[in-house]
Structure 1
Amino acid sequence: MTQNDGTRTISHWLDNKPFAGTSGETAPVTNPATGVVTGRLALASVEDSRRVIDAATAAFPAWRDTSLAKRTAVLFKFRELLNERKQELAEIITSEHGKVVSDALGEVTRGQEVVEFACGISHLLKGGMTENASTNVDVHSIRQPLGPVAVIAPFNFPAMVPMWFFPIAIATGNTVVLKPSEKDPTAAIWIAELWAEAGLPAGVFNVLQGDKTAVDELLVNPAIKAVSFVGSTPIAQYVYATGTAHGKRVQALGGAKNHAIVLPDADLDLAADAMVNAGFGSAGERCMAISALVAVGDIADELVAKIKDRTVALTTGDGTRDSDMGPLVTKAHRDRVASYVDAGERDGATIVVDGRTVQPNGEPNGFWLGPTLIDNVTTDMSVYTDEIFGPVLSVIRVDSYDEALDLINSGPFGNGTAIFTNDGGAARRFQNEVEVGMVGINVPIPVPTAYYSFGGWKNSLFGDTHAHGTEGVHFFTRGKVVTSRWLDPSHGGINLGFPQNN
């Protein structure tokens, strides 16, 4: 890669080195805080895609047969390098996504939790054993890798979301092709270089840059055995349908419209802090962001006032400066989010804090939209029904817990939700009755730790398996049961040395 001045070329990665590709097609990569093009991304052709997939295919047999001891040694080295240099990765994320550096650093840290989880893969791959299941017959189970697998990542978490998948895939003996977003692709190359430095053999981790051409080849190429995807629901549906039609395992995490219920007995200061954090962090470009606040009973006026006071104190600006919230990822996305605020205003909602008029701490050509708080939203407004994916928090007023619960359960998504209350009975009832995959109780963004699994219900997930945790291990492996009878014992030679793992 050349200097970060617009002439920089962001290439593919195969066999532990950059690969320019042959298509000749490129796309601009832009700093959202300045609007300046900082590089050109190589877009893969079908031939480029197949060359990267072929590299992963060629590397698989040797990596599959590499001992767990050697695999985990590479994982531990990668973890140490990532821990030492995560600030560098965070700054790359900020330069292409726009989130503030502290938020980007948090993203890397959460992704690193999955790396650490994968360092213990030996325990998770242990099978079961039954001696003398029948006379002189033993039965045992093992889990084996699938082969080359693909990870198709979104723009909002260019490091964390890929790290939900590839550490486990690699640790369990698979090879990986990562297709990052065209909007912020450099983090993937940085990660690939780190894997090479950690000693990962050539072809085990590869990066395929591109657009739909690259995605479609990953979905139909028979060498790819499984696909992990995170993105919008329409694309998740497409990925799931296309991948499964071509015989692949697919876990496709789709969109969300996350609600938070605040009951009358809740600590309103805690709830107000949580709504600001969950609604406006990362400019609302989180699949776990709270975008719909459901205020129950007569607390709405007080709660909205508390949220307003906190929101107007936030600074929107360049993520490398002293700012609370950065820009949106592209101008087109900024304009799309602003159009929902326009629609809400036309539909009769109350714009309490208007992010369209924000004065940013940054360059005038950045993709700015400040935190926006909208009250008196009704369920027929597009600002409520659609996934906006921006810093827009809508307030819906209801009279009862049952009415609030029905809002969530009647919606098409089931990704994340939260309830704020000091009533243990209400919280327990909510966690039992709500039809959502991830639930927070006085926690606004209930993203599970790495040893649990991440994923929603309904149109927020296509496929049967969630990301990371034990479900992730099962996704990237398949079970085998061996029944054996040995009639003649065999003996090894004499060796008084302490046995070693190799």
Structure 2
Amino acid sequence: MKADADKPYRNLVNGAWIDASDGAVIENRNPADTSDIVSRHAAATADDAKAAVDAAAAAFPAWRDTPIGKRAAILERAAAYLDANADQFGHELAREEGKLLALGVGEVKRAAQTLRFYAIEGQTLTGETYPQDDPAMLVYSHREPLGVATAITPWNFPISIPARKIAPALITGNAVVFKPSSEAPLIALRLVEAFVEAGIPAGVLNLVIGPSSATGPAITADPRVRSVSFTGSTGAGEKIHRSLPITTRSQMELGGKNPLIVLADADLDTAAQLAVAGGFSLTGQACTGTSRVLVESSVKDAFIEKLAAKAAALKVGNGLDDGTKVGPLASAAQLKNVLDYIAIGKGEATLVAGGNQLTGGAYDKGYFVEPTVFADVSADARIAQEEIFGPVISVIEVADYDEAIAVANGVQYGLSAALVTNDFRYIQRFPHDVEAGTVKVNRTTTGNLVNAPFGGVKMSSTATFRESGRAGLDFFTQIKTVYLGR
């Protein structure tokens, strides 16, 4: 789909690409070069959002009754469309979100992989039969779709996160209203375009791009919406969760303050590289990003020296440029938030790397910050407790493994955690001791498999249903138990 030269991309409601009912438009600019307008989009209103729910509710019965093989074939064709256009769409993603080009292309391909996974895995979802004493009766359960499903997604992984919500919803027979972030709307539209090209029936998948204040209540509070899957900040997720009707299911993937624990026996070069990969890739804008490094006292100074050197060596720039390792922050609001926290950190701890906004030349066109490392951070410091969502790492000294676990667990979040060690005693204990939904040893805190469950504990999740993997199908289905007598 292409926009006319003087018209924005439109929203999709009931199979038709429509303008905003009030004519409003959102400009989508490149955070590495704000003079670069990547795309313009119709800004959906509350009326447009309600029309999307109307369309999904009307389309649901026929989609529910569509044979699952036909539903799976649509997901397969949509995946093929994404793969065929991965280079173009990845380039667009890098422009609108600031991600490195290779990561943008890779994310498009991961979305295609997700669609294929659910096209196959969704066809294996079964119920059970139950033994009982009546020989003239059969008792069994089966899973059926809920109805209208709302997917609300963020800008940091603007196609892979939507794919892991929309694919399991569709394969299980739900109709979807999709509201992506206005900070990265074009790649979200490309995902919907893939389904349209694949032949999805009108109304089964609807796209509303627009401000949450206008569209949010219409696509969450309506009692016809039976499930809401949201990824974003803890504050926004809690507000949505509390506003839902009692008949509406919620799945919330929220914030994180993820620790990397480095024990004294660890290879420090490896540990420092894991911290850099977890904390500075994606410009620190990942919910599973490494924001705290907890280091045993005996190796703290040596580790900090290595980490600071690696941070200082990273090239910051436009994600489309060769050699760039850290792209821009996604928006002016993100830039301000990160700079505010860096200022707070300078009053709480010792700055050992970075700490500045980059200016001059091409940097003046975008939202660039140096990869930043603080040392001598106390466990209760604000920069050690609050989610920053930027390229800022706090190094906290701990006496031993037990103190490291206490500090790691001493935050409101529990999304991801990692341990660097060769000591099998602690490798074995760590998954039991740490409070996190994703636990890794000798790996970064970031990243998860398409076929494995993903989610957090404490304020990182509603702790109801996991996303991704086979577990991702459970959220969009309900169990019906059937008694057949003769």
Post-superposition offset of 1:74: 1.2
Aligned partners of 1:258 and 1:292 also within 8 Å: yes
Matches for 1:316-327 after TM superposition, within 5 Å = 316-322=316-322, 323-327=324-328
Deviations 1:24-51 (A, max 9, x none): 3333322101112624433222211111
SS in structure 2 of the partner of residue 10 of structure 1: coil
Instruction: Tell me which residue corresponds to 2:214.
Output: 213
SS in structure 1 of the partner of residue 90 of structure 2: helix
Q: Which amino acid aligns with 1:62?
A: A
How has the CA–CA distance of structure 1 residues 296 and 363 changed in structure 2, closer, same or farther, with 3 Å as cutoff?
closer
SS in structure 2 of the partner of residue 337 of structure 1: helix
Q: Which amino acid aligns with 1:307?
A: L
Instruction: Tell me which residue corresponds to 2:21.
Output: 22
Post-superposition offset of 1:161: 0.9
1:223 correspondence with 2:224: yes
Instruction: Tell me which residue corresponds to 2:333.
Output: 332
Aligned partners of 1:438 and 1:446 also within 8 Å: no
Matches for 1:66-81 after TM superposition, within 5 Å = 66-81=66-81
Aligned partners of 2:279 and 2:290 also within 8 Å: yes
Q: Which is further off, 150-159 or 300-309?
A: 300-309
| Aligned equivalents of 1:43, 1:20: Cα separation in 2 | 8
Aligned partners of 1:316 and 1:360 also within 8 Å: no
How has the CA–CA distance of structure 1 residues 192 and 3 changed in structure 2, closer, same or farther, with 3 Å as cutoff?
closer
Instruction: Tell me which residue corresponds to 2:33.
Output: 34
Matches for 1:434-449 after TM superposition, within 5 Å = 434-445=434-445, 447-449=447-449
Post-superposition offset of 1:21: 2.0
Q: Which amino acid aligns with 2:219?
A: L
SS in structure 2 of the partner of residue 120 of structure 1: helix
User: Percent of counterpart pairs with the same letter?
Assistant: 33
SS in structure 2 of the partner of residue 28 of structure 1: strand
Q: Which amino acid aligns with 1:14?
A: V
SS in structure 1 of the partner of residue 275 of structure 2: helix
Aligned partners of 1:316 and 1:359 also within 8 Å: no
How has the CA–CA distance of structure 1 residues 357 and 411 changed in structure 2, closer, same or farther, with 3 Å as cutoff?
closer
| Aligned equivalents of 1:246, 1:203: Cα separation in 2 | 25
| Aligned equivalents of 2:126, 2:357: Cα separation in 1 | 57
| Aligned equivalents of 2:308, 2:127: Cα separation in 1 | 54
Instruction: Tell me which residue corresponds to 1:491.
Output: none
Post-superposition offset of 1:419: 0.4
Aligned partners of 1:337 and 1:390 also within 8 Å: yes
How has the CA–CA distance of structure 1 residues 27 and 80 changed in structure 2, closer, same or farther, with 3 Å as cutoff?
closer
| Aligned equivalents of 1:360, 1:398: Cα separation in 2 | 39
Matches for 1:85-234 after TM superposition, within 5 Å = 85-130=85-130, 134-211=134-211, 212-234=213-235
TM-score normalised to structure 2 length: 0.95
Q: Which amino acid aligns with 2:135?
A: T
Q: Which is further off, 438-447 or 405-414?
A: 438-447
Post-superposition offset of 1:485: 2.6
How has the CA–CA distance of structure 1 residues 300 and 67 changed in structure 2, closer, same or farther, with 3 Å as cutoff?
same
Aligned partners of 2:122 and 2:473 also within 8 Å: no
How has the CA–CA distance of structure 1 residues 361 and 8 changed in structure 2, closer, same or farther, with 3 Å as cutoff?
farther
Deviations 1:269-312 (A, max 9, x none): 11111111110011000000001001112111111111122222
| Aligned equivalents of 1:403, 1:132: Cα separation in 2 | 52
| Aligned equivalents of 1:43, 1:357: Cα separation in 2 | 31
Structure with the greater alpha carbon radius of gyration:
1
Post-superposition offset of 1:450: 2.2
Post-superposition offset of 1:118: 0.5
SS in structure 2 of the partner of residue 134 of structure 1: coil
Q: Which amino acid aligns with 1:10?
A: Y
Following TM superposition, where does structure 1 have runs of at least 4 consecutive aligned residues deviating by more than 4 angstroms?
1-5, 130-133
| Aligned equivalents of 1:106, 1:88: Cα separation in 2 | 12
Post-superposition offset of 1:78: 1.5
The number of residue pairs the alignment matches comes to 483
1:453 correspondence with 2:453: yes
SS in structure 2 of the partner of residue 9 of structure 1: coil
Aligned partners of 1:239 and 1:252 also within 8 Å: no
SS in structure 2 of the partner of residue 182 of structure 1: coil
Q: Which sections of structure 1, spanning at least 5 residues, go unmatched?
A: 487-502
1:314 correspondence with 2:314: yes
SS in structure 2 of the partner of residue 397 of structure 1: strand
| Aligned equivalents of 2:36, 2:339: Cα separation in 1 | 23
Instruction: Tell me which residue corresponds to 2:414.
Output: 414
Post-superposition offset of 1:443: 1.1
| Aligned equivalents of 2:393, 2:377: Cα separation in 1 | 10
| Aligned equivalents of 1:470, 1:451: Cα separation in 2 | 7
Deviations 1:199-236 (A, max 9, x none): 21111111111122211111111221100000111111
1:13 correspondence with 2:32: no
Q: Which is further off, 234-243 or 126-135?
A: 126-135
Instruction: Tell me which residue corresponds to 2:484.
Output: 484
Post-superposition offset of 1:414: 0.4
TM-score normalised to structure 1 length: 0.92
Matches for 1:216-365 after TM superposition, within 5 Å = 216-243=217-244, 245-322=245-322, 323-347=324-348, 349-358=349-358, 362-365=362-365
Aligned partners of 1:28 and 1:37 also within 8 Å: no
Aligned partners of 1:439 and 1:446 also within 8 Å: no
Q: Which amino acid aligns with 1:230?
A: T
1:392 correspondence with 2:392: yes
| Aligned equivalents of 2:60, 2:14: Cα separation in 1 | 12
Q: Which sections of structure 2, spanning at least 5 residues, go unmatched?
A: none
| Aligned equivalents of 2:2, 2:80: Cα separation in 1 | 27
Deviations 1:396-439 (A, max 9, x none): 11111111111122210000010000011111111111111110
Q: Which amino acid aligns with 1:135?
A: P
Aligned partners of 1:139 and 1:482 also within 8 Å: yes
Aligned partners of 2:413 and 2:457 also within 8 Å: yes
| Aligned equivalents of 1:401, 1:106: Cα separation in 2 | 36
| Aligned equivalents of 2:360, 2:153: Cα separation in 1 | 29
